[in-house]
Amino acid sequence: MTPSLLACDWGSTNLRAWTFDRDGREVERRDFDLGVNRLAPGEAGDRFLNEVRPALKAEHLPALLCGSIGSNIGWKTVPYVDCPASLPSVAAGLLSPVGNVWIAPGLRCESLSPAGEVLRGEETQALGWLSADPARQQGRHLLCQPGTHSKWLVIEDGQITRFLSAFTGELFAVLSAHSILRSDGKVHDEAVFEDGLHAAADGDGLLNRIYSARSRVAGRGADQGSTGAYLSGLLIGSEVAATPRLLGLEGLPVTLLGAPALCARYAIALARRGLDAEIFNGDEAVKVGLLALARMGGLM
């Protein structure tokens, strides 16, 4: 197979890169510890041209990048596309920082506050999920992408119309490492995770409910090492309970798109609330999305 495209999902913590042939078949994959949060201003472009491209023997291939690399802490700021957004409108927003390198835009929409909502990278994953099956272009879908900053996208007739973010993953990381709730115990204790889901109730009063992660240890003698599992259940349970309601879509089945292990925990939380969920692999979806954007943008 002869590579025709270099495609990268370049986020805040890491960089995943693939080469594809003209038929969209994967030729090679490489992962790099080059998250934009770890790079100095102006460093991303040099690292890409001098490390990433040579590592995949892709110095002369057209390249398409998505994710935080297009933010104000990345290589070049690419303007957001306003919702409703579709594959053609996102492809029309591709911007080139140099030569035959292109960066995908993120999305922006109105939200719960005047600040609105933004995302980068998740749009390519969502467009990949949409492109993989023409039937998904019809009707309304609620798509949840768990992660550091989880995203809940409303998709209507093939367009991303609006979305909400949740600080769940980052809050879990900060509390687990830098608060009285820190724990080096098992994060995936299912019974304790279920206790956390129960404590989340309907997702209200989260700041008050978080304290139960402390009181169960100090007042009830629970193992400090189980705090991570409890906190995970509490935060995910709160997110799952509150977000569909905030979007006015309570009861709608949820499509989970991301890392399978994390999506599985969200599926447990959704099932507890009587909601159906289907899990799709985020890695596969982002590859399909990058290829769809590359074709729509005339890169291959």
Cα 217 to the center of its chain, rounded Å: 32
Residues whose CB falls within 8 Å of the CB of residue 103, separated by 6 or more in sequence, listed in order: 64, 65, 66, 69, 70, 74, 75, 76, 78, 94, 95, 96, 97
Do you know the residue count of the chain?
300
Q: What is the pLDDT of residues 60-90, one digit of tens each?
A: 999 999 999 999 999 999 999 999 999 999 9
The encoded tokens of residue 274 equal 């009587």
How far apart (Å, rounded) are the C-alpha atoms in residues 281 and 261?
10
pLDDT at residue 44, rounded to an integer: 96
What pLDDT is recorded for position 17? Answer: 98
Mean pLDDT across the chain? 96
Model pTM score: 0.95
pLDDT tens-digit series, residues 107-129: 999 999 999 999 999 999 999 99
Q: Which fold has domain 107-285?
A: Nucleotidyltransferase; domain 5 (3.30.420)
Angle at 215 between CA 209 and CA 217, to 5 degrees: 130
> What pLDDT is stored for residue 185 in this prediction?
58
